Amino acid sequence: MKFDALKDISAVVQAPPLVVDLDGTLVKSDLLIESAFAALGNNPASLFGMLGAYLRGKPALKSYIAERTDIDVAHLPYDGEVLALIQQARNDGREVYLASATHKKYVEAVANHLGVFTGWFASDETINLSGSKKAARLVAEFGEKGFDYIGNDAIDLKVWPQARECIAVNAPGAVRSKLKKISPNAVVLKTLPKQGKAWIKLLRVHQWAKNGLVMVPVLTSQSFSVTSITQAVAAFFAFSLAASSIYIINDLVDIDADRQHPSKKRRPLAAGTVPILPAMIAAPILLVASLVGAYFVNPLFLAVLTGYLVLTTLYTFSLKRKLLVDVVALAGLYTIRVVGGAAAISVVVSEWLLAFSVFVFTALALIKRYTELTVRFDQDLPDPTNRNYRKADLPIVATLAAAAGFNAVTVFALYVSDDKISQLYANPKLLWLICPLLLYWLGRCLMLAHRRDMNDDPIVFALKDRNSLLTVAACGVVMLAAMIRL
């Protein structure tokens, strides 16, 4: 007897749900650290509230921060490969859940924004859903070996043993080794890329050239001894390490705003190319190294560097949000570098040099603000949220920049007219040649900024601009010629 082929009526066994971690897995960042620095940026006094909440436990700390800080989840640095894996699971008809130790306010916001999750699990006012507590919650919901789990960190080693399939994303080598012992068939989706270039970018090594201002007193006081130059070089590196430390803190505070900026969104912390926790640890290490180096230069230089750190910290957490106060503060930070150079070689800074520095650096700070506003104006972006400027302020900002710049030239002309200058220069009248050079360079900076041919930092621009470098070289030649007795 011939039998027709029978349909396979066996039940289709549905794959278990896919559970995805948030910090470091779905998002290349840590939302607790992000939100904490955002809260400090909004109100530095919230540090005391955080300390008090932490004493009551992590759930209290996370709730305290979440009550005071919002995160723009639309601009978070999501991991494209993890999103693709989630989408594949959805296409296969699987349920997908988001599970995180992050506060429920942020987890819910991410889940609602992406719209791909069946549900979510998160920390709240009573529980910190991390490690073994997350594992217990997932087992209670899906049963042991009843879910697949994607994680990235050592704390996830508490969760992976309870999962059917273990998937690691951007996990450190030590975590991958331990995971393989727990689950030999664990899937390593991808490993952390090399971060050398990203760290150099994070530390703003290219911005260290600004600290060359410590060399100005060496030139103006004509202190060319080996000791003076050695002390000035040490001061340069001390300032550079301190500046890098503050750059990291500044990027942590501004991370949300940076992600909405056309160019700043590519900064390592905003883009997630450098993990946020190591960056946070690096900042105090760099700071301590700079202070130790300053101590070995001399106590006066250490005092100046400490003053620089106080002012730049105030700038990061408060002053940069205040109209024009931020510009004066920036000019002060540049001028302090000059004062620091004088302290390092134990010479007195002349009042002329201080006055010139204040005016010229105020002009450059205003040009910086001008270029930032032009980007927003040209791309029809909203007014900045972390600066108290509006696109409508462009004309007055340009006017103030021009006024400050040409006042600097006036101060220099008065300096050249001072009879006392003959004590330093053999041919002081040659210094008049620097005035037209300054007029040319400052005027050109303003014109290029107006034409949108300058980036948002005129000093960095000058270091790459051929005409600017030639102008600086010409000024140096004039000064050396003025020193030489014929």
- The answer to whether position 4 is within a domain reads no
Do the beta carbons of residue 206 and residue 243 sit within 8 Å?
A: no
Sign of CA dihedral 129, 130, 136, 140: positive
- The answer to whether position 34 is within a domain reads yes
Same domain flag for 100 and 222: no
Residue 7 pLDDT > 50: no
Average pLDDT over residues 432-448: 93
Average pLDDT over residues 384-389: 76
Poorest-confidence range of 284-288, 383-387, 412-416? Answer: 383-387
Specify the CATH number for the domain of residue 163. 3.40.50.1000
pLDDT of residue 11: 30
Residue 5 pLDDT > 50: no
Residue 263's CB: how many other CB atoms inside 10 A? 11
| Average pLDDT score, the chain | 89
- The answer to whether position 5 is within a domain reads no
- The answer to whether position 8 is within a domain reads no
Question: Could you tell me the residue range of the domain that residue 218 belongs to?
Answer: 196-483
Same domain flag for 60 and 112: yes
Same domain flag for 108 and 140: yes
Q: How many domains does the chain have?
A: 2
Do the beta carbons of residue 97 and residue 76 sit within 8 Å?
A: no
Poorest-confidence range of 36-45, 61-70, 358-367? Answer: 36-45
Average pLDDT over residues 438-460: 88
Task: Tell which of 164, 190, 216 closes a domain.
Answer: 190
Task: Tell which of 174, 190, 206 closes a domain.
Answer: 190
d(CA 35, CA 38): 5
pLDDT of residue 54: 93
Same domain flag for 395 and 417: yes
pLDDT of residue 258: 87
- The answer to whether position 13 is within a domain reads no
Same domain flag for 149 and 229: no
Q: Take residue 351 and report the two structure tokens written for it.
A: 């009042």
Residue 20's CB: how many other CB atoms inside 10 A? 27
Same domain flag for 67 and 86: yes
Specify the CATH number for the domain of residue 314. 1.10.600
Task: Tell which of 136, 169, 190 closes a domain.
Answer: 190
Same domain flag for 110 and 208: no
Residue 291 pLDDT > 50: yes
- The answer to whether position 372 is within a domain reads yes
- Per-residue confidence at 3, pLDDT binned at 50, 70, 90? very low
Same domain flag for 417 and 370: yes
Residue 483's CB: how many other CB atoms inside 10 A? 16
Same domain flag for 265 and 392: yes
d(CA 169, CA 103): 22
Average pLDDT over residues 413-442: 88
Same domain flag for 359 and 474: yes
Closest C-alpha among 185, 184, 137 to residue 162: 137
d(CA 330, CA 30): 30
Residue 1 pLDDT > 50: no
pLDDT tens per residue, range 86-125: 999 999 999 999 999 999 999 999 999 999 999 999 999 9
Same domain flag for 257 and 137: no
- The answer to whether position 363 is within a domain reads yes
d(CA 105, CA 4): 59
pLDDT of residue 195: 81
- pTM as predicted: 0.83
- The answer to whether position 1 is within a domain reads no
Average pLDDT over residues 273-281: 92
Same domain flag for 339 and 246: yes
pLDDT tens per residue, range 180-225: 998 998 898 877 778 889 999 999 998 898 898 999 898 888 888 8
